Amino acid sequence: MTEGLLEGKSVKRSFFDAPEGVDGHLPHWYTEARTAAWKDYEEVPWPKRKHEAWRFADLKKLAFDDIVDAAEVDEAEGADLITRSVALEENAGRIIFANDRLIADPLLDAEFAQKGVIFKPLSQALVEDTDLVRLSFMQEPARLGSVKFAALHRARLRDGIFLYIPKDVSLSRSVEVFHWLSGENAAIFPHSLIVSGPGSSAAIAEYIASAGRQPGFCGGVTDLVAGENSRLTHVRTQNLSEQAHSLHVSSSLAADGANIRAFVLNLGCKWSRSESIARLSGEGAGTDMLAVCIPEDSQEMDMRTLQLHEKTHTTSNLLYKNALYDEARTIFAGLIMVEEGAQHTDAYQTCRNLLMSDQCEANSMPGLEINADQVKCSHGSTAGPITDDELFYLRARGIPESAARQLMTFGFVKGAVDGIGHDALEKVVLEKIDRRFRRILS
């Protein structure tokens, strides 16, 4: 056994028992931290609703007692999942995982490999590029409530990707990562570490989805580290089964003049939580934080964000759009924090909720903490249905009510998708959204 597989066992309020010892080939610094992380996981108390970071969260839905380590998928299923791993028409490379194991050879166009681009499984990078990985691997604390789950991730992490773009290299096509979750109550812990050298640029898409409709758990971490004047675009889509749970922690760190765009699409899961931290640690750095959530039935989607301005002339722009159906719930808690001396900061935060039923519930908790005086900041959140005036206008042009609602809802969420600023990626995301609406309406 190479990992601590404890299938079938369940421990109240902990997913598994302690992970098994050290894997021979992995670097010592990594395995040591992994062991420490398991201890942290066990010691950090379970979240409580009265904690500010967990306000409004339905913690009853966060019950993972039956969860087990995901097992390898069989060959036939692997082959099927490979055929389902299609998104962009053209990419610069792609890596496909099922249950945190590679199911196809990783691909990266030779053109970019020759320029020094690294795009490979993290397990491989930990050995081959260990110093580069170590510099940026899980350097950001999980400040938004999930210290315990970040520790769990680090302890249970099996694989993921490492993307590195050397100085001044520009990746003209995006790379793609597919993560499939398969098996009853299986848990995966996908990890992405993306590092851009000075003056470089790249776009990457990650698609996390269930193979079937079973319950399961995904505890992912994404770290983006953008070097001086580099540009990173990251798109993550979550389309896990409606029985699954997911808890994802993302951080981004932008150096001088760097620009990071991060987009999240949340479609699946009974309960999902996404924590996103954008640290603007360099002068003139900028970030766009974008998200679309389309929950239905009794899905709960919980989004916690932090826009952290540490230096002057930094810009952050957050736009989250939720379209809620049935008895769905969303929670948005966003904090803009401008540190002392971070003058000439522009920080904007908008969360809009489109209420498509009378029973759905949107909770918004915007927050500002400003410790500099030359700052432009605004935050706003709205929640409301499609107005009668809008609906009447479309119907007065002959568009039937259901089509009118679909058109407006699509238009509503598209506003956030447009912010990706990358046509091919926008198209992939819009197709997923379109399929979602068709399903909801049918």
232 CA to centre of own chain = 15
Among the residue ranges 48-56, 77-85, 304-312, 386-394, the one whose residues contact another protein (CB under 8 A)? 386-394
Selected binder of another protein within 111, 411, 435, 438 (CB under 8 A)? 411
How far is residue 35's CA from residue 18's CA, in Å, rounded to a whole number?
A: 8
Residue 399 as a binder of another protein (CB under 8 A): the answer is yes
Residue 421 as a binder of another protein (CB under 8 A): the answer is no
User: Whole-number minimum distance, CB 397 to another protein, in Å?
Assistant: 4
Residue 51 vs 395, nearer CB to another protein: 395
Residue 434 as a binder of another protein (CB under 8 A): the answer is no
Selected binder of another protein within 82, 107, 370, 394 (CB under 8 A)? 394
Residue 187 vs 433, nearer CB to another protein: 433
Q: How many amino acids of this chain bind another protein (CB under 8 A)?
A: 24
Number of C-beta neighbours around residue 359 at 10 A: 12
Residue 355 vs 404, nearer CB to another protein: 404
Residue 43 as a binder of another protein (CB under 8 A): the answer is no
Residue 423 as a binder of another protein (CB under 8 A): the answer is no
Alpha carbon dihedral 108, 156, 99, 12, in 10-degree steps, equals -160
Distance from the first to the final alpha carbon of the chain: 46
Residue 46 as a binder of another protein (CB under 8 A): the answer is no
Among the residue ranges 166-174, 223-231, 392-400, 419-427, the one whose residues contact another protein (CB under 8 A)? 392-400
Residue 393 as a binder of another protein (CB under 8 A): the answer is yes
Phi, psi dihedral angles at 237 (to 5 degrees): -115, 135
How far is residue 298's CA from residue 210's CA, in Å, rounded to a whole number?
A: 18
Using alpha carbons only, how large is the chain's radius of gyration in Å? 21
- Closest C-alpha among 249, 206, 259 to residue 228: 259
Q: Contact, 304 vs 333, CB < 8 A?
A: yes
How far is residue 89's CA from residue 367's CA, in Å, rounded to a whole number?
A: 40
CA distances from 283 to 166, 224, 229, 254, 341 (A): 21, 17, 10, 9, 11
Residue 27 vs 421, nearer CB to another protein: 421
Among the residue ranges 63-71, 242-250, 375-383, 385-393, the one whose residues contact another protein (CB under 8 A)? 385-393
Dihedral class, residue 264 (left if φ above 0, else alpha if ψ from -120 to 50, else beta): beta
Among the residue ranges 10-18, 67-75, 241-249, 400-408, the one whose residues contact another protein (CB under 8 A)? 400-408
Residue 139 vs 387, nearer CB to another protein: 387
How far is residue 389's CA from residue 408's CA, in Å, rounded to a whole number?
A: 12
Amino acid identity for residue 363 in this structure: N
- Closest C-alpha among 311, 295, 400 to residue 357: 295
Selected binder of another protein within 392, 431, 435, 441 (CB under 8 A)? 392
DSSP conformational letter for 26? S
How far is residue 283's CA from residue 299's CA, in Å, rounded to a whole number?
A: 40
User: Whole-number minimum distance, CB 421 to another protein, in Å?
Assistant: 15
Residue 29 vs 410, nearer CB to another protein: 410
x/- string (CB under 8 A) for another protein, residues 320-339? --------------------
Residue 74 vs 401, nearer CB to another protein: 401
3-class DSSP assignment, residue 36: helix
Residue 76 as a binder of another protein (CB under 8 A): the answer is no
Residue 167 as a binder of another protein (CB under 8 A): the answer is no
Residue 375 vs 394, nearer CB to another protein: 394
User: Whole-number minimum distance, CB 358 to another protein, in Å?
Assistant: 17
Q: Contact, 103 vs 116, CB < 8 A?
A: no
- Closest C-alpha among 427, 441, 218 to residue 323: 441
User: Whole-number minimum distance, CB 414 to another protein, in Å?
Assistant: 5
Residue 426 as a binder of another protein (CB under 8 A): the answer is no
User: Whole-number minimum distance, CB 154 to another protein, in Å?
Assistant: 40
Residues in contact with another protein by CB under 8 A are: 387-390, 392-401, 403-404, 407-408, 410-415
